Structure 1
Amino acid sequence: MAHVASKEAIICVEAIAKAEGKYKHQPEPIDYNNVPGCTYCYPEVASVGFTEAKAKEAGYEVKVGKFPLSASGKASAAGHTEGFVKVIFDAKYGEWLGTHMIGYNVTEIIAETVVGRKLETTYHEVLNAIHPHPTISESVKDAIEVAYGEAIHL
């Protein structure tokens, strides 16, 4: 994936510059479990982190929420209601384990999960962040609401 190769190149150059005394910081390694996968087809596919099955295999008790884009006002207005957003959280600590999406513009919104996982965000913090309406991106929040029994848009 181009975005991974680009980050690997930056880390390589930083490591060379550090070895030559031209860079003060230690390059941060890539967390390959937090690399978004994007498939540019129709509908688009995007994912990052654990699948529900892999999370359970790893010993997590999970909370899962799935929000259909057919319930999204923006998807309806755009005429692209096929697909869904599925989120997986650790039931014990609320850790965001993964997100999987199929639908209109989902490759544009997977970054919310990548940043949330990088910052060790919990479901509670995402639910309390205001998401713009109507947007496809609010479907991530809607899926989290489903996982925690707080859905109001279904």
Structure 2
Amino acid sequence: MRRIEIDDEVFSYLQSRSEPLIDTPNDVLRRELLGDSRPSSEAVRKRRPGGLAPLIEAGLVSAGDVLEHHQSRLKRTHTATVTADGWIEIPDGRAFSRPSPALKAQTHTVINGWGQYTHVPSGRKLQELREEAAAPMN
């Protein structure tokens, strides 16, 4: 790996294009210059478990499961995929630790991802699955 120096203005640009606590400057440069939207494998290994990790641990959701949100008025359907570490990956390759920021990135509006994303395999809202995973076992 080679090292380069960049000025403060370029660094500020890289920060404005990064997903905080996820992207490295190299990830941003790869995305901007090479069109590679995937974070480096090192960044993926280092990230904390995502918000859907408890649902995976409870056996309610699996890696690779599809999430869907339909905007009926706009006639748009947004999909996302659950990753093995409980993150939500949207079709452009960006991954989010929680559902609401993922859905905001897709709809361009603040929206409750827990209440709006449907887990396609079960047909249930993520909020319902989260409540089930948090319920004490009898």
- Whether these two folds match at TM > 0.5 is no
Q: Which has the higher contact order (CA 8 A, sep 6+)?
A: 1
> Normalising TM by the smaller chain, what interval?
0.3 to 0.5
TM-score, normalization by structure 2: 0.35
TM-score with structure 1 length normalisation?
Answer: 0.32
